[in-house]
């Protein structure tokens, strides 16, 4: 995805996670701008369903969002850039800090979700499988 300045192969997973978690918001943003449709988002979803390469469709979706006035494009929907979890103070065991996190069930993307009260565990955007539990 070097055409739009992304770093490394993990960025495709990060951007796919943004689509997985925020597809409805992205669709609304695309449809809210005159002259634009949700085609680029639909292309990403279709590529995912077909098991096709995602870098190209994600590149296009990112560029369309930027061209329509959102300077951050897909990065505006990424939950990862501002994450500060994972710090461990010296002298505190990992078992005492174990926190449940739910991850993409197939490791296709870097989507994550932390439990909020009794809210149900969300499902994968593509196959509906519940996100898998893991621990930090």
Give the three-state DSSP class for 92.
coil
For the chain (length 136 residues), average pLDDT per consecutive 10? 50 86 91 85 92 90 87 80 43 58 89 89 89 86
* pLDDT value for 135: 80
For 42, counting Cβ atoms within 10 Å of its Cβ (0-12 exposed, 13-18 middle, 19+ buried), the class is: middle
Alpha-carbon dihedral of residues 135, 9, 83, 74, nearest 10 degrees? -130
pLDDT of residue 41: 95
Nearest to 100 by CA among 60, 56, 129, 136: 136
């Amino acid at each position: 995805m070097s055409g739009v300045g992304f770093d490394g192969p993990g960025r495709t997973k990060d951007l796919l996670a943004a689509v997985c978690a925020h597809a409805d918001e992205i669709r609304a943003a695309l449809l809210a701008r005159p002259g634009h449709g949700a085609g680029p988002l639909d292309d990403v979803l279709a590529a995912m369903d077909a098991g096709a390469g995602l870098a190209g469709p994600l590149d296009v979706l990112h560029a369309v969002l930027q061209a329509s006035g959102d300077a951050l494009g897909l990065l505006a929907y990424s939950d990862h850039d501002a994450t500060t979890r994972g710090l461990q103070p010296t002298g505190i065991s990992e078992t005492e800090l174990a926190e449940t996190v739910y991850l993409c069930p197939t490791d296709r993307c870097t989507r994550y979700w932390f439990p909020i009260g009794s809210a149900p565990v969300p499902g994968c955007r593509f196959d509906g499988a519940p996100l898998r539990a893991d621990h930090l």
